[in-house]
Amino acid sequence: MSRVSDLFGSMVFNERVMRERLPKDIHSALRRTISQGEPLDPKLADIVANAMKDWAVEKGATHYCHWFQPLSGITAEKHQSFISPTREGEVIQEFSGKELIHGESDASVFPSGGLREVFEARGYTAWDPTSYAFVRNGVLVIPTAFCSHGGEALDKKTPLLRSMEAINRQALRVAACFGHNDKRIMSTSGLEQEYFLIDKELYMKRLDLRLTGRTLCGAALPLGQSQHHSSGIKPRVLAFMRALDEELWRIGVSAKTRHNEAAPSQHELAPIYTTTNIATDHNQITMAVMRDVASEHGLVCLFHEKPFHGVNGSGKHNNWSLITDSGVNLLKPGSTPQTNAQFLTFLCAVIKAVDEYAGLLVLSASGAGNDLRLGEKEAPPNIISVYLGDELTRILECMENETAYVGVDKLELETGLDVIPRFPKESTDRNRTSPLAFTGDKFEFRMLGASFSGSESSMVMNTIVAQALKEFADVLENDRDALDKLLKETIHKHKRVIFNGNNYSDEWEDTARERGLIGAASTVDALPYYTDEKTLKLFGEHDVMSVPEIEARREIVTENYINTIKTEALVLLDMARREIMPAAGRFSAEMSRAVTDIRESGIMHCDHVRETLEIACTGVDVCAAVCKQLYKELRDEHPDSYAAAKHYRTRVLPLMMNLRKTIDALERIVPEWPMPTYSDLLFWE
């Protein structure tokens, strides 16, 4: 491997490359677009495009693509070569500013939630200059937004970029009240990615894994999982991780931390934080690279939130904060947070925003896969609360009650060993059970599922905090002396959302209910938050999403929920009828012959054999009956998509769980199981 400093960003059209290859005035204009959000003069695009093409060709690129994030939940790209024919029957390599700035894609093949009819096929991809282009697999990849012919957002990037503008506007207003003259304030994010690695040959033998990304049946492991977290990494996995790091570093993704997670064969990658737009792009790229590198190592990378029943599922933690263009983190408390008025103002804005718009945060983490993970004592419950830690909570209490805060001296970590160096410990512990935890200079949103884009949660955080900051700015711009009263009232009204205890405890649900905090038991329960009047007003006022765009997203999430469960149910039916019931039937026939042979031999005591035969036969009969009922429920018709989603939640899912329970019981007694078991899948070398 080359030196990391030489490797990192070597395939990225980044600041260094632009400075070297663009005329000074062009580079300055593009730099202002990237750092300050100024519009880029289209007349300059030809110069940028030509420099980008020359650089990419030198890196081995033959094609370019506009890479975008449609509402399907995956990324999309269409490759086009640089070649252009000449009159002499030869070709030259060209790339124009027009081709850089925008492209066209068939919008009818991507979900639009009713924004577009099937015959309205035109969709545009528009270059996002704030996210660097890069070369991978011989293709110049250009991050873009994706919108319809009418300008509606058909992707996840566009609303995120709009929300970044919204919070920039309002945060600048509040910062100005503290005497700052920043030109831009950006939201930042660090998206930690959890995933499973399993052997590719075993994966190919499981229909459910291949078609749904998770095991729809599988008897639980006979041992726990606690020894796996941060344990020694297996050589095959370490080889994958090394290759992954190198590939990510080449394209500018700052992969920082890697380790084993709680479940067997589960791992995590964490990057260094950056602006929310780039962090989201990098995370989407990371997942694609993970899949490719895993395949090269004979592995498969699983991002499903709950691929294996009975072991920890996979999440994606979004570490969100705000930073000025001069590098000041507005959520950094400093050594004396009790006197840091600017920090306390932005902190209170976040608390207010989360309390008032908790439903939107629930929505940003809602999906059929994540329903299986949230609230299972392995991930935060889907009741929104904020963890601040004891010190900050006491500071806010003193502000509310107008009492003096007496700080606690920083303590050193005591190990009882003289040889171990001493160092100051943080004033608060970490709370891994909280949906939204303050972790020193950022908020960690822990509800996201591993397969999710980070765009929705960042877009929601940006928009709701922008609204809180707007209300603060409206007061402070008229009366700078009103700050103490404003913060006191905010704390008094919204302190109910602060909880520093164990969110996994049964008592917390009762406490949260008494406080009137918002949650949702499932995606179906969360869907109404989309079209709540307060939601529509919020996104409209900040120009993040129009009413049709919001309604479209609700429809798409609903349809995705239905299609996910329908697909899983059909796959489970197929496995039960074609693999599991025949295997159990063959075993029953063998056991029946065994019972007959034992009786004919004159041995009268064969209770265990007879009982096993009865369990197997009963299991097959139950499977057949549940399959019949499940098939009937799948054929039911519904007046609208929301009614269908409720039906799948209340009727189809329970039947799938019953069928799984019966199949898993059969697995424990049938010796020749027709597919790899959990022991095979999770404990490989």
User: Smallest Cα–Cα separation from 266: which of 318, 302, 212?
Assistant: 302
Rounded mean pLDDT, 676-680? 95
Residue 595: CB partners within 8 Å, gap ≥ 6? Answer: 606, 609, 610, 613
Select from 196, 217, 56, 216 the least CA-distant residue to 140.
Answer: 56
Supply the pLDDT for residue 189: 97
Q: Is the pLDDT of residue 127 over 60?
A: yes
Range from 20-29, 400-409, 513-522, 602-611 carrying the lowest mean pLDDT? 602-611
What pLDDT does residue 607 have?
80
Best CA proximity match to 480, nearest among 241, 265, 174, 684: 174
Q: What pLDDT does residue 230 have?
A: 58
Asked if residue 565 lies in contact with residue 368, where contact means CB atoms within 8 angstroms, the answer is: yes
Q: How many CB atoms lie under 10 A from the CB of residue 85?
A: 9
Can you tell me the distance from the alpha carbon of 194 to that of 210, in angstroms, rounded to the nearest whole number? 19
Higher pLDDT, 667 or 419: 667
> Residue-wise over 638-647: b if at least 16 C-beta within 10 A, else e?
eeebbebbbb
pLDDT at 585 over 80: yes
Per-residue pLDDT of 639-658, as tens digits, reads 999 999 999 999 999 999 99
Q: What is the pTM of this model?
A: 0.93
Confidence of residue 3 (pLDDT cuts 50, 70, 90): confident
Phi-psi domain of 252 (left: phi exceeds 0; alpha: psi -120 through 50; beta: other): left
Cα–Cα distance for residue pair 591/612, rounded to 1 Å: 8
Mean predicted lDDT score pLDDT of the chain:
91
Q: Which of 78-92, 180-194, 524-538 has the lowest mean pLDDT?
A: 78-92
SS (H, E, C) 585-644: HHHHHHHHHHHHHHHHCCCCCCHHHHHHHHHHHHHHHHHHHHHHHHHHHHCCCCCCHHHH
- The pLDDT of 215-238, averaged and rounded, is 81
Instruction: Work out whether the CA dihedral 39, 40, 41, 42 comes out positive or negative.
Output: negative
Length of the chain: 685
Average pLDDT for 357-366: 96
> pLDDT tens across 228-281, in order?
665 789 999 999 999 999 999 999 999 999 999 989 999 999 999 999 999 999
Which two three-digit tokens encode residue 52?
């980008």
Q: Is the pLDDT of residue 525 over 70?
A: yes
Which residue has 């009159």 as its token pair? Answer: 87
Task: Kindly state the percentage of the chain with pLDDT values over 90.
Answer: 75
| Torsion angle of C-alpha atoms 550, 554, 560, 561, degrees rounded to 10 | 150
- If one compares 568 and 601, the residue with the highest pLDDT of the two is 568
Q: Exposure of 415 by Cβ count < 10 A (0-12 exposed, 13-18 middle, 19+ buried)?
A: exposed
Residue position matching structure tokens 């660090």: 190
Quickly state the pLDDT bin for 181 (edges 50, 70, 90). Answer: confident
- 467-478 residue pLDDT tens: 999 999 999 999
Which percentage of the chain shows pLDDT scores above 70?
94
What was the pLDDT predicted at 2? 67
Q: Above 90 in pLDDT, residue 81?
A: yes
- For 277-330, the pLDDT digits (tens) are 999 999 999 999 999 999 999 999 999 999 999 999 999 999 999 999 999 999
Taking phi first (over 0 means left), then psi (-120 to 50 degrees means alpha), and beta for anything else, what does residue 328 get?
beta
Cα separation, 296 vs 495, whole angstroms: 51
The predicted pLDDT at position 414 comes to 61
Beta-carbon contacts of residue 651 (< 8 Å; ≥ 6 apart):
633, 636
What band does 111 get if pLDDT is binned at 50, 70 and 90?
A: confident
Which pLDDT score, from 0 to 100, does residue 324 have? Answer: 96
* Residue 415 pLDDT: 52
Model pLDDT, residue 426: 57
Check whether 376 has a pLDDT greater than 80: no
341-356 and 390-401 are packed helices; what angle lies between their axes, rounded to 10 degrees? 90
Instruction: Tell me: pLDDT of 422 over 70.
Output: no
Query: What is the pLDDT, as a whole number, of residue 129?
Result: 92
pLDDT value at residue 261: 92
pLDDT digits (tens, 9 = 90+) for 149-162: 788 999 999 999 99
